[in-house]
């Protein structure tokens, strides 16, 4: 009996050891992917910030450089900004010498710069040199005297001008001729001189366009209300350029500074009515020059009366103003704009220089 009990006990122990060994083998046979081990030790920081493990509370995503940048779960945090690529510059090839114009600078300069005020600050001699080069340039491109002359009324010219009907293509290498009544003048910069025409039947109620004149000082030859015939030829710039070919009897009011003061002092209302719409040519001596910045603003005449006579001429070129001298004779064309108890103002005013008073044909009186 004792032997039997001993045999049973040995059998139970052997069976238990065999079962324990089988369990161990099954545990070792399980895939390692199912075994998860969490380490509480901190990983040392990498020297490359792009290879760091993401911190708690952040999401990693790839950027354009192939590294990971960090973004907080919070909507207020933005991804790291990537450096922009350097700008790409494109080199423009230099124009070959054969493609460049062979025309000399002195010839092309007036055509490209006329009307540009870039020479306003240049000294008088330089301005005169530029204007003379333009005048030579314009003369060379003037059609022959025998060229066809196309006669237009003021209305016809201005209608086509305003509607851009390309008169220069219609009348290529020809003249156009326009007759009318002078209304006023305009000077803007060194070489922009214009006159305005109106039809004879409506000299005051008319929407006028400017006529660029070849004459440097058309106000020295014409006056408001005077009949005139203009002839023009075309340049690429400034366009139609007009010269005076005939003029009617002068309508200018020729007075000295003292005479105009005397008339308006005696009876201002009567003088206004007498000279309404007229252009004045005033002579006398220069008393004062008023500056407007670096340029001429106005000139003041010497007078013996209580009224001061001033003419506003802010766009007068330097080649004219540099020759002005206080106490010397002065001649100005102007239109009266203001008379009060202290001053008479003519604006706009245009200085007339002796060398610019060239004659033009005058039509005989009827």
Per residue in 290-312, pLDDT (tens digit) is: 988 777 889 999 999 889 999 99
**Token pair 């016809």 in the structure block, residue:** 156
- Domains contained in the chain, CATH given: 253-356 (2.40.50.140)
Cα–Cα distance between 353 and 324 in angstroms, integer? Answer: 10
pLDDT of residue 95: 45
Q: Which of 32-46, 240-254, 335-349 has the lowest mean pLDDT?
A: 32-46
Pair 348, 185: CB distance under 8 Å: yes
Q: Which of 42-56, 116-130, 152-166 has the lowest mean pLDDT?
A: 42-56
Cα–Cα distance between 158 and 328 in angstroms, integer? Answer: 42
pLDDT of residue 22: 53
Residue 123 has pLDDT above 80, yes or no: yes
- H helix intervals, 30-121: 105-113
pLDDT of residue 59: 34
pLDDT of residue 288: 95
- Total-model pTM: 0.65
Taking the CA atoms of residue 37, residue 42, residue 47 and residue 50 in that order, the dihedral angle to the nearest 10 degrees is 60
Pair 178, 154: CB distance under 8 Å: yes
Can you spell out the DSSP letters for 112-146?
HHTT-GGGTTS-HHHHHHHHHHHHHHHHHTSPPTT
Tokens standing for 220?
Answer: 């020295």
Cα–Cα distance between 349 and 287 in angstroms, integer? Answer: 16
Q: How confident is the model at residue 285 (pLDDT cuts 50, 70, 90)?
A: very high
Pair 333, 251: CB distance under 8 Å: no
Q: How confident is the model at residue 332 (pLDDT cuts 50, 70, 90)?
A: very high
pLDDT of residue 18: 54
Average the pLDDT over 351-362 and give the result: 64
pLDDT of residue 261: 95
pLDDT of residue 14: 54
Taking the CA atoms of residue 175, residue 176, residue 181 and residue 183 in that order, the dihedral angle to the nearest 10 degrees is -90
Among the listed residues 237, 154, 158, the one whose alpha carbon sits nearest the alpha carbon of residue 201: 154
CA–CA distances in Å: residue 345 to residues 66, 111, 184, 301: 79, 36, 16, 11
pLDDT of residue 98: 40
Tokens standing for 130?
Answer: 């530029």
Q: Which residue has the higher pLDDT, 50 or 21?
A: 21
Pair 255, 207: CB distance under 8 Å: no
Outline where DSSP puts E strands in 17-57: none
Average the pLDDT over 146-163 and give the result: 87
Pair 332, 299: CB distance under 8 Å: yes
Residue-wise pLDDT for 245-272, tens only, equals 999 999 999 999 999 999 999 999 999 9
Residue 363 has pLDDT above 60, yes or no: no
Q: Which of 25-39, 118-132, 219-233 has the lowest mean pLDDT?
A: 25-39
Neighbours of 191 (CB within 10 A): 23
Average the pLDDT over 24-44 and give the result: 44
């Amino acid at each position: 009996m004792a032997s039997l009990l001993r045999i049973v006990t040995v059998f139970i122990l052997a069976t238990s050891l065999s079962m324990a060994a089988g369990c161990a083998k099954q545990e070792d046979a399980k895939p390692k992917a199912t075994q998860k081990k969490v380490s509480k030790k901190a990983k040392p920081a990498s020297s490359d910030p792009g290879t760091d493990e993401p911190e708690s509370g952040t999401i990693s995503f790839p950027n354009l450089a192939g590294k990971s940048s960090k973004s907080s779960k919070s909507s207020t945090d933005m991804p790291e900004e990537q450096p922009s690529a350097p700008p790409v510059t494109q080199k423009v090839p230099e124009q070959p010498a054969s493609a460049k114009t062979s025309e000399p600078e002195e010839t092309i300069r007036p055509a490209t710069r006329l009307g540009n005020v870039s020479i306003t600050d240049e000294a008088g001699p330089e301005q005169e040199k530029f204007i003379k080069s333009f005048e030579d340039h314009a003369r060379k491109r003037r059609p022959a005297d025998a060229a066809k002359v196309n006669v237009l009324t003021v209305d016809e010219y201005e209608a086509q001008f305003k509607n851009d009907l390309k008169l220069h293509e219609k009348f290529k290498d020809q003249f156009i001729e326009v007759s009318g009544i002078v209304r006023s003048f305009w000077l803007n910069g060194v070489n922009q001189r214009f006159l305005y025409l109106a039809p004879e039947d409506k000299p005051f109620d008319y929407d006028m366009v400017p006529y660029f004149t070849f004459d440097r000082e058309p106000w020295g030859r014409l006056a408001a209300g005077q009949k005139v015939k203009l002839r023009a030829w075309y340049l690429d710039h400034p366009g139609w350029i007009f010269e005076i070919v005939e003029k009617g009897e002068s309508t200018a009011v020729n007075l000295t500074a003292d005479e105009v003061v005397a008339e308006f002092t005696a009876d201002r209302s009567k003088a206004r009515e007498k000279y309404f719409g007229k252009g004045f040519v005033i002579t006398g001596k220069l008393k004062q020059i008023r500056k407007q910045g670096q340029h001429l603003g106005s000139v003041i005449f010497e007078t013996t009366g209580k009224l001061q006579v001033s003419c506003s001429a802010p766009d007068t070129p330097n080649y004219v103003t540099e020759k002005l001298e206080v106490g010397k004779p002065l001649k100005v064309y102007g239109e009266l704009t203001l008379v009060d108890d202290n001053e008479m103002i003519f604006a706009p005013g245009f200085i007339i220089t002796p060398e610019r008073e060239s004659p033009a044909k005058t039509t005989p009186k009827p």
